[in-house]
Structure 1
Amino acid sequence: MVRDGKPEGFFYLDHRTVDLKYNVITDVYVTPGNVHDSLPYLERLERQVKRFEFKVEAVALDAGYLTTPICKKLKEKKIFAVIAHRRFHPTQGLFAKWKFKYDAQNDVYSCPNAQILTYRTTDRHGYRHYASDAEVCKSCPMLAQCTRSKNHRKVITRHVWEESKEWVRENRLTPAGKKLYKRRKETIERSFADAKELHGLRYCRLRGIKNVTEQALMTAAVQNMKKIAMHLSKTV
């Protein structure tokens, strides 16, 4: 596993889901450390819905899950999705992408100097390319802050499912979205912290996906027993 802010080495990832009300662990799935968090998510969500007949109304996820396929699927399923914002650092000295405004009605972008970038093509990954007029750009006073391309043309990309991602961003800024995401650190993050600090899940006892999965499932079972016992004690 090689990630910013994380130690480099050989690891396993425990992909875990918890419910909002009682913080009971509803799913555990172990993968090698080089598998991105977002890859197994939709499959694991579908598995829980089918197996337990959950009526999922909302989900709160960290920035690693902010991908267009996940946003699109959650929107299609009418699940209120709140996903943390992923900070991108633009090239130093150049305009950030958010300064280029998208006009959905005309399907064009406008630059900070009010020039139009029109649609040119869509690549194999589903990104639509919008390009400026090089003849206009080469005499623009903001050219040095816009692009460093030799042909003076600025290109902006937009995924065909970008609207789903924008919907998720809007959810995050609503009062309900802020409240839901705030609970995330009190539920799933707390669940992981307890597993590592109190139940020895910081290190694997044995190697191999099968053995690590067994350890992760047993740990989750113990945590759930404690959660259920605590809840029942309060209802007596």
Structure 2
Amino acid sequence: DLAIAPGETVALVGASGSGKSTLINLIARFYAPTAGRITLDDAPLDTLPLAWLRSQLGWVGQHVVLFDDSIAANIAYGQPDAPEAEIRAAARAAHALEFIDALPDGLATRVGANGSQLSGGQRQRIAIARAFLRNAPILLLDEATSALDNASERAVKDALVELRKNRTVVVVAHRLSTIRDADRIVVMAHGRIVEVGDHATLLAAQGAYARLLASGEGLLDTDAVAQ
């Protein structure tokens, strides 16, 4: 069993195919569990109105979905009546406003099909701005594995640090820095939870987590593993 406290950040780690993304998809009720159950405040998810449940969730995935519309419309996706001041505030919190304001049409700039007119880091920050605007109490984060330049990497990381504040966060983590910042680490293998603890405790136990870090499988930055 795994119980996540309000305001806690839990990092899911494991080799490819271990069940990390499946778990957050189950939380979002994209499909139902075949055994066991998932509850929110003791209420089984399948008893909650789906629209209400989704209103409680923010989502930032590896593959950002953007539409051939303005930046403002993409940030406000699902909230078409959001005022421009709130959209700008969300963009600022996501470290996106600087590049947006540098564009000739600012928030009115069209992003192209699937955001083709933006860089990878810019697309990530638009997705983060969308989550800021949604302001849901629970954040599901599937950390991007695509390589970004150093400046974009820093901007995305700083934006995610801000986004995680005062929220319950479940993150599929691919960066050691993200994993070490979590309150708890959940190690998964073959669709099951095999270890739970913090970085120092799990590393000292020399179990599945330590083996995962030693192999580097599924991780993007393992230089500081032993620290």
The normalised TM-score by structure 1 is 0.27
* RCO comparison, higher one (Cα < 8 Å, 6+): 2
Greater share of strand residues, 1 or 2? 1
Larger radius of gyration: 1
The normalised TM-score by structure 2 is 0.27
